Structure 1
Amino acid sequence: LRLVQCWQKAGIRLAEVAFDPSRPERDQTVLKTIELLCRQTKGSMIIGAGTVISEEKLKAAHKSGAAFMVAPNVNKKIIKKANQLDMVTLPGAFSPTEMEKAYEAGADFVKVFPASVLTPAYIRAVTNSLSQIPLVAVGGVSSQNAGDFLKAGSCAVGVGGRLANKDMIRQGQWNQIEQEAVDLVNAVGNAER
């Protein structure tokens, strides 16, 4: 909760709580965290589930209050089910073909992952041809490059490790985490001008 409070203070309004396929024993913790954040933030933040790779996890996340789902891949069944549950969908894609398949399957947004490997130039090239598909750059995005991805055509960015650094959390470096969040919000704001 402290981490999300840092983000809120900085102006971030969406948070993803991710499942870890290598640690299914933690699924209940993920679901309880989604539920707790939904209750604690009382609508001031939109909470979603990440790494949703099965309909079972999707339904459980929805039941816990998740408003959106993020996936590492394009699974048409999961996208369709999420649409039926009125959840916003962000399936992951790497190639223009995958992006188009995700969008045709009903994705609201397409997560371009890993964005840092693909670069803003890649986003620009793809959006020149597939401008109807709202792309979200995720993976290796920070306050230093978020603006570049937005200027290149991403409609949003997703930031993970830079805002949820486990070492910084363990050491209680909340001011540094909040500053990184402020820097990110400023970078996004500057890119939108």
Structure 2
Amino acid sequence: MNRKETTARIIDYGVVAVIRMKDTDRLLKVIEAVREGGVKCIEITMTVPGAVEIIRQLSGIVPKDVLIGAGTVINEETAQKVMDAGATFVVGPVLNTKMIAACTNRDTPVLPGCYTPTEISTAWNAGADIIKVFPATTLGPKYFKDLRGPFPDIRLMPTGGVTIDNVGEWIAAGACAVGIGSDLLDKKAIDDGRYEILTERAARMVTNVRKARSA
């Protein structure tokens, strides 16, 4: 897929699962569980030791409908490494125009982290495919509604503070997709090996996104 097609797939899926795990065996079970529930967009953060190699391994073995991306990418050099490893999209916690250029030059979707209207506008004009609004916890869905006025065409994705229960509010406020971590990836369920709980939570998440989109 090219950059445009991958971006469309991210938006269609609607949910990006943000995963911070270094145990590849358990990670595969987590991915399989959430995929069964309908979550097929996976972000492996660079805060995980050996994240680049994990992305390389996953890219060669996950089902073709699963997108493996890299998160917490803060500079151009790291972006190049994760793309070399097979990352199909790149997410950052901050705005870095060189990182954006590195990704667009390689036809890879890039989702830089932004907080203010100025940052959002700068990132979009630099070529960002989706703007990761972060941390969304302190902003809330109303902030998205306010942004839709001056930025009706910019694709926004909140990360931080998104839950299964409130995801509908974010979608209704104008989010094209959402990033979610702990509320989807229940730590106790993973520790206990109860992956069916992750499948159930993923299914609820996807259902709530679809309901909000069709409302």
| TM-score, normalised with respect to structure 1 | 0.92
**Count of aligned residue pairs for this structure pair:** 187
Structure 1 match to 2:21:
none
Residue 4, structure 1, aligned to residue 31, structure 2: yes
Read off the aligned partner of 1:118 and give its amino acid letter: L
Question: Is 2:148 the partner of 1:127?
Answer: yes
1:55 aligns with 2:76: yes
Counterpart residue identity of residue 115, structure 2: F
Q: Hey, what does 1:184 align to over in structure 2?
A: 205
Letter in 2 for 1:156: A
* Other structure's SS at 1:129 match: coil
Q: Are residues 1:44 and 2:65 paired?
A: yes
Aligned equivalents of 1:37, 1:146: Cα separation in 2: 27
* Aligned position for 2:189: 168
Deviations 1:69-97 (A, max 9, x none): 00011100000011111110100111111
Which residue does 1:96 correspond to in 2? 117
Runs of 4 or more off by more than 3 Å in structure 1?
none
Q: CA separation in 2, counterparts of 1:42 and 1:7?
A: 13
Alignment RMSD:
1.3
Pick from 60, 74, 85: which aligns with 1:64?
A: 85
> Structure 1 counterpart of 2:86, which letter?
G
**Shift of the alpha carbon at 1:44?**
1.5
Q: Show structure 2 runs of 5+ residues with no match.
A: 1-27
AA of the residue aligned to 1:52: V
Q: In structure 2, what residue type is equivalent to 1:3? A: V
Q: Distance in 2 between matches of 1:8 and 1:89?
A: 22
Deviates more, 1:72-81 or 1:48-57: 48-57
* Superimposed CA distance per residue, residues 107-148 of structure 1 (whole angstroms, 9 cap, x where no aligned partner): 001001122321111100011211121101111111101111
Amino acid at match of 1:101: T
Match of 2:135 in 1: 114
Give the fraction of aligned pairs with identical amino acids, expressed as a percent.
34
1:18 alignment partner, one of 30, 45, 56: 45
Q: Tell me the distance in 2 between the aligned counterparts of 1:158 and 1:174.
A: 20
CA deviations over 1:23-75 (Å, ceiling 9, x no partner): 7xx2xx21222122222224221110000012221111001110100001110
2: CA distance between counterparts of 1:179 and 1:133?
32
Partner of 1:30: 51
Partners of 1:82 and 1:187 lie apart in 2 by 31
Q: Higher RCO, 1 or 2 (CA under 8 Å, sep at least 6)?
A: 2
CA distance in 2, matches of 1:64, 1:11: 25
Q: Distance in 2 between matches of 1:60 and 1:9?
A: 29
Letter of the 2:139 counterpart? L
Please give the secondary structure, in 1, of the residue aligned with 2:165: coil
Given candidates 64, 81, 85, the residue that maps to 2:102 is: 81
2:22 is matched with none
